Amino acid sequence: MAEQAIDRSKMKVSDEVAIQISNMNKWYGQFHVLRDVNMTVHKGERIVICGPSGSGKSTLIRCINRLEEHQSGDIIVDGTELTNDLKNIDKVRSEVGMVFQHFNLFPHLTILENCTLAPIWVRKIPKREAEETAMHFLRKVKIPEQANKYPGQLSGGQQQRVAIARSLCMKPRIMLFDEPTSALDPEMIKEVLDTMIELAEEGMTMLCVTHEMGFAQAVANRVVFMDKGQIVEQNEPREFFNNPQSERTKAFLSQILGH
């Protein structure tokens, strides 16, 4: 990836705040998974979140679209505060796209139907228009010819690209990725990462849990390291990798980079 030329002209971080998380805490029963998390994400940022297994990375990004509920503190997404108010939750979910480790495509629907379902039912867009948008994004992730197949007929990498296209069809302002490549074979990882890089080049605000450090170095403007439910260290990628400050970060980096 490093050798690939990345167009940074549109990758601009604006002053506008996309996500504001303040003093957020979450428990699973007695277990304190997220401890006093504070984080401000500006429009256009590409943030990579890493950390050891069980450190709460997935839980953190799942709180942002309320797949998980936090118990104290505030999360404000694009000006909407996440509370029990269902209207706010629906609003946030239609602004925030999410890509899962295991794709979670709907196996009983064709690729095209997967992509048009939410636009038609949530955004109330006419079917024809939704299909045109879907084809546009399927071309973008380079699988327009699979539109009438079912997810089970596609390879893992293709399925993940469909999942990305499905999210994009809702025209989200923020994209969340939870280990999008860790269920894939090495040769498929690249095709998915390429799609994500392209998204970043267009200025999408992205939060990405991943262990692809090449991706982090190439596109992230910030790397966040989590351990035991806390943000331990964050920095711009070059500093983060070359000059980690905390002992935990050093230990983690030496493990995954194999020093």
Partner 1 sequence: MTSVIPFVRNEMLPEKEPPLRERGVVHWMRQNLFSGPLNTVLTLLGLAVLLWVASHVLPWLMHSVWNASSLTECRDIITQRFGEGATGACWAMVKERWHQYLYGFYPMDLYWRPNLAFVLMFVAIAPVLYTSLPRKMLWFTAIYPALTFWLLWGGSVWTPVVAMLGFVILALIFRALVGKLGVPVSAGIGVVVAALWWMFAQGPVSDALQAAIPLSITTVDSDQFGGFLLSIVIGVTAISASLPMGILLALGRKSDMLIVRTLSVGFIEFIRGVPLITLLFTASLLLQYFLPPGSNFDIILRVIILVTLFAAAYIAEVIRGGLAALPRGQYEAADALGLDYWQAQRLIIMPQALKISIPGIVSSFIGLFKDTTLVAFVGLQDPLKGITTIVRADINWKGIYWEPYIFAGAIFFIICFGMSRYSMWLERKLKTDHR
Ligand X SMILES: Nc1ncnc2c1ncn2[C@@H]1O[C@H](COP(=O)(O)OP(=O)(O)OP(=O)(O)O)[C@@H](O)[C@H]1O
Q: Residue 23 and residue 221: Cα distance in Å, rounded?
A: 23
Report the residue number, 44 or 51, with the smaller CB distance to ligand X. Answer: 51
Q: Whose CA is closest to 1, among 236, 210, 255?
A: 210
Number of neighbouring beta carbons within 10 Å of residue 155:
15
Report the residue number, 150 or 241, with the smaller CB distance to partner 1. Answer: 150
Q: Is 59 in the site for ligand X (CB under 6 A)?
A: yes
Q: Whose CA is closest to 70, among 36, 104, 107?
A: 36
Q: Is 56 in the site for ligand X (CB under 6 A)?
A: yes
Query: Of 38-46, 99-107, 185-193, 209-217, which part binds partner 1 (CB under 8 A)?
Result: 99-107
Q: Whose CA is closest to 226, among 63, 90, 38?
A: 38
Q: Is 59 in the site for partner 1 (CB under 8 A)?
A: no
Would you state the structure tokens that stand for residue 16, as one six-digit string?
């506008």
Q: Which of residues 30-59 bind Mg ion (CB under 5 A)?
A: 58
CB-based closest residue to ligand X: 58
For the bound state, the minimum distance from the C-beta of residue 111 to partner 1, rounded and expressed in Å, comes to 11
Q: Which of residues 107-126 bind partner 1 (CB under 8 A)?
A: 107-108, 117-118, 121-122
Q: Is 210 in the site for Mg ion (CB under 5 A)?
A: no
Report the residue number, 167 or 210, with the smaller CB distance to partner 1. Answer: 167
Q: Is 155 in the site for partner 1 (CB under 8 A)?
A: no
Cβ atoms of 250 and 225 closer than 8 Å = no
What are φ and ψ of residue 165, in 5° steps? -60, -40
Angle (CA) 159 98 53, round 5°: 90
Query: Between helices 156-168 and 127-140, what is the axis angle to 10°?
Result: 130
* Single residue of 4, 7, 8, 54 touching ligand X by CB under 6 A: 54
Q: Is 98 in the site for partner 1 (CB under 8 A)?
A: yes
* Single residue of 55, 133, 160, 167 touching ligand X by CB under 6 A: 55
* Sequence-separated (6 or more) residues with CB below 8 Å from residue 158: 143, 146
Cβ atoms of 177 and 138 closer than 8 Å = no
Q: Is 249 in the site for Mg ion (CB under 5 A)?
A: no
Query: Between helices 111-121 and 127-140, what is the axis angle to 10°?
Result: 130
Residues making contact with ligand X (CB under 6 A) = 28, 31, 33, 51, 53-59
Residues making contact with Mg ion (CB under 5 A) = 58
Residues making contact with partner 1 (CB under 8 A) = 65-67, 86, 90, 93-94, 96-98, 100, 102, 104-108, 117-118, 121-122, 150, 152-153, 166-167, 170
